[in-house]
Amino acid sequence: PAVAPVAPVAAPASTLVSSSQSSNAAGRMQLIDENQKFNSAHFGPSLDQWGLADAGFGYDLCAVLGSQSTGKSTLLNKLFGTNFDVMSETARQQTTKGIWMCKGLKMNVLVMDVEGTDGRERGEDQDFERKSALFSMASAEVLIVNLWEHQVGLYQGANMGLLKTVFEVNLGLFQASKAKTAGAKDKTLLLFVIRDHIGVTPLENLSATIMADLTKIWLSLAKPEGLEASQITDFFDFMFTTLPHKVLQPAEFDKAVDALRTRFVDPKDPNFVFKTEYHKRIPADGLPHYLESIWEQVMTNKDLDLPTQQELLAQFRCDEIANAAFALFATSIKDFRKHIEGGSILDTLGADMALHRSTALASFDRDASRYHQEVYKRKRVDLLEKLNSSLSPFFLGQLKNLHRHMLQNFKRSVLDRMRTEPNYDFGLVVSSEKRTALAKFSAAANAVLLADTDWAVDEEVAQLDAEIQAISDTMRVEETKKMVAQIERTFKKNIGEPVEMALNAPGPEMWDQVLVAFRRTLEQAEATYVRKAKSFNCTEEENTAALAALRRKSWLSLRAKVDEQTADSVLAARLRGCFEDRFRYDDAGTPRVWKPEDDMDGAFRKARDETLALIPLYARIEPKDPAVAVQLASTEDDAELQGAVDRGEEEEFDFAQTLVVFSEARKAEIGTRFRKEADALYVEAKRSTVSSIAQ
Ligand code: GDP
Ligand code: MG
């Protein structure tokens, strides 16, 4: 049936006011109807009837919140002389759902009472309960929170879930923008009225319990930007009072209500509730529009598509259960840290982590699965994520330790095998050790890889692979160097004798012999390199570079031999030898005994000049047959070599310069020295002739 705006004018039977309440000049009006529609048409006229149309700021607004049938309407009627519907003590008749408004008797107080359905349609009921609570909180100066004493400390009974939701939405919807623009926050008084107070537990204890619950709720709220650090007391003041049992102690109850009333009407009362700071500063004539706009915001707000009470409870409890499970879990995994951080590899880490995780989940499942299934499942996902992220550092740490361990092992094994296996094939050793290391790593890494995580080991395996490759590359370079050095030593050993022999028998083809020997020895060296380098998996470039270096070093080694064989004393001895061969021996190789008729001067000059002619031959490496000449690149002509010089890997190498054995100046010096020696030998020969004649 349609409900008239103001009873008793045209109210249906169920909402007729009793005669005791008809003394109130105007009855109650339904502000929000059972279809959640705001009754804008009758609000203005009602204000008129209540004589408040011209009250300006001279009125106050009060509302009530609390579970069904906790005596809210009874209290309001007693306190303010209003005529809200009261559930009959004998027949549980249906009251009309909605938000009702009434003016207090002989006071400019507008009182709002909420009627929910006491039915079984809990979901729908909760939707309206939340909307009306939010509306009341946003519009009233004083919000009476009505609860039984035995509900104190109970999450659901004491409306804590409802309050949490309403606090949260109120903060986001009505306070955030105000706090930003005005700076000053809009304060509301929450007056907790604890009903059926037996008296055993003092008010202070009850209020402390409620305050603690509220503070906890406030901490857990999702707060809008800029209000993250806000306190519950920034937006609410609190007052607590108790009332005795209305039926068992009717006289005390009435007395207590009378006392409570003075707080609403006597500004001199220290507990006066309508402090100016709670007033929303809306003139009475603007109230219809103002309240309608608040209701509209409440109705259109998406945040109010809120979880049901059951879900809220589930969230709260699942969080508690998850926290307890996690706390146990956290202590049980504590020991891993020092081992992992100390660089150890824990053999059973994977199994241990899995066990601790499943223990925590099992304990969560046992207690939490009884709650709202979707919430439970969602919270389980959250818990699993939290467990995983606590374990993840151990997983990563173990991988890091394994990684280091495998690298060390790899290096050690390769070196060991190279030491103990006499004819090892470097390439084979490296590839087999690498395979072993990677296989071991993969196995160990997979052993700590838990299911139901986003963990992966592929990247780690790839990285280890790359690092092992880098190490083997370095080892290969070292090994190649060692091999090349060995080849160079062999070359040096082999080139010595042919050079010495050729330089010992100077002649026009002296250098041809040297160079032919060089070529032959170098060819052997290169062949050795190519043969050995095969198993090293060297790149084409590395081979080209190594061979070029080998050629250069071989050449330098030849040059060193040449230098040694043309050092001052060696060369002087050689020249003297050549001279003596010519001067002191005849063509048949027989020692000469000079007779006076012999052309000793002529023989001397011939031997001396022939020997002198050898000096330019020694001075420069130049074969008679241009076909045997050696040509190597100089660092200057070869950009790549120059680059290597710049990087400090190679020395400056000027091939043309290396062909010069000694300079013009030294040529002259050697010549002069030789002449002196030759002259001395001549004088000595002359003397021997003279003395033989004298005999
Ligand atoms: P509301 O649904 O919260 O508005 O509750 P009502 O005011 O309609 O009262 C519900 C029932 O509780 C009625 O039968 C009242 O007589 C009874 N009641 C009202 N006040 C008290 C009280 O202080 N103590 C107890 N035990 N019952 C009360
Ligand atoms: Mg009621």
User: Which pLDDT tens digit goes with each residue over 290-348?
Assistant: 899 889 988 887 655 544 556 767 888 899 999 999 999 999 999 999 999 999 999 99
Residue-wise pLDDT for 180-214, tens only, equals 555 555 789 999 999 999 989 999 999 999 999 99
Strands 142-148 and 109-115 turn out to be unpaired
- Which residue among 78, 87, 114, 255 is best mutated to probe the pocket of ligand 1, counting the most ligand atoms within 8 A of its Cβ? 87
Give residue-wise pLDDT tens across range 336-387: 999 999 999 999 999 999 999 999 999 999 989 888 888 899 999 999 999 9
d(CA 55, CA 46): 13
Q: What does the pLDDT read at residue 537?
A: 73
The pLDDT of residue 591 is 85
| Residue-level pLDDT at 686 | 83
> Which residues, 6+ apart, have CB-to-CB distance to 593 below 8 Å?
692
Q: What is the mean pLDDT of the chain?
A: 87
Lowest average pLDDT, out of 9-23, 167-181, 373-387, goes to 9-23
- C-beta of 97 in contact with ligand 1 (< 6 A): no
DSSP string, 55-68: -TT--EEEEEEE-T
Cα-to-centroid distance, 84 and ligand 1 (Å): 12
Query: pLDDT (tens digit, 9 = 90+) per residue, 568-616?
Result: 899 999 999 999 888 888 878 888 887 878 888 888 999 999 999 999 9
> Could you tell me whether strands 60-66 and 142-148 are parallel, antiparallel, or unpaired per DSSP bridges?
parallel
Residue closest via CA to ligand 1's atom 10 equals: 69
Give dist(CA 471, CA 438) in Å, integer. 14
Indicate whether residue 363 lines ligand 1 (CB < 6 A).
no
Among residues 28, 34, 217, 29, the alpha carbon closest in space to that of 125 is found at: 34
Cut 0.90: pTM above it: no
Q: Are 564 and 504 a contacting pair, CB within 8 Å?
A: no
Q: Find tokens 């879900």 and name the residue.
A: 311
ipTM exceeding 0.95, yes/no: yes
Cα dist. 345→351, 354, 398 in Å?
Answer: 13, 16, 6
Q: Is the CB of 415 under 6 A from ligand 1?
A: no
Is residue 89 in contact with ligand 1, taking CB distance under 6 Å?
Answer: yes
* Residue 518 exposure: Cα atoms within 13 Å on the Cβ side: 28
For ligand 1, is residue 74 a contact (CB within 6 Å)?
yes
Residues 6+ positions from 97 with CB-CB distance below 8 Å: 34, 115, 116, 117, 128
Distance 16 CA to ligand 2 centre (A): 14
pLDDT at 4 over 90: no
